[in-house]
Structures are given as structure tokens and as C-alpha cells.
Amino acid sequence: DVQLQASGGGLVQPGGSLRLSCATSGFTFDGYTIGWFRQAPAKVREGIACISSSGDSTFYASSVKGRFTISRDDAKNTMYLQMNSLRPEDTAVYYCAALHSEAGDMYTGCVYGMQYYGKGTQVTVSS
């Protein structure tokens, strides 16, 4: 079974940092584009950061560009999202996701969605 498990969420003050992790199993990790999505209350889920299967290409939504960094460790089948300079509008449930590299390109997957999603982790930015 394909499994993705996000962790690392929590409550943080504005301007603070958090690092999310996503442990995966059940698929060939290095053959997949991976990414992070988030969904705030009463809003649609949006792709915010994605990285290609090779790790050579990344995509960031304009709302997080320059503040968030996505990375992958293929040896550990794990992805990360380093979030800095957090703002109250970053409050959301964050999900990790994966898309087979032959099923679509990174940009399309990040904008329109991926094949597999994990359960989310809540991030709350508040003073």
C-alpha cells in the first residue's frame, strides 16, 4: 500500500519557522515528483511546493516563494518542507503528495493535483 505520513506541524508565532517531514512507503520514491499542498478553512487545496523526481527542478507558489524550501532524501524515502518567516495566512492543514514521473510533469501535478496524498498535519501561525 502507498503511504505518506506528514509530521512536524504545530503552533508557531508569526515570523517563526517549522520543518515538516513526510515519510513514505509502498512506492518507488525516486521515480516520483513529490510536493506539499495545503488547505485553509473555507479554501480549496493548493499546491505550494513541488520537486521533480530527479531533484533538479522545483516549483513554488507565489505565496510561499522565498520563504519555504522543499527537499527530498531518496535514501530515506522522505520529503521535507522548511518554512521560514511564517505568517498567519500560512495557517492550514498541510499535505504531502506524490505523482509518478510518467503520469505528468511537475508543474501540472503541483497546480492540478497528484496521485497520492497523505493525511495532513495542522500548522497554526498565531501570536
Give the H or E element holding residue 109: helix 106-112
Backbone φ and ψ for 121, nearest 5 degrees, come out as: -130, 135
Contacts (Cβ under 8 Å, ≥6 apart) of 109: 33, 35, 47, 50, 97, 99, 103
Is 90 exceeded by the pLDDT of residue 1? yes
How many CA within 13 A on the CB side of residue 69? 6
- Compute the distance between CA of residue 69 and CA of residue 51 in angstroms, rounded to an integer: 10
87-119 pLDDT per residue, tens: 999 999 999 999 998 888 899 999 999 999 999
29-82 pLDDT per residue, tens: 999 999 999 999 999 999 999 999 999 999 999 999 999 999 999 999 999 999
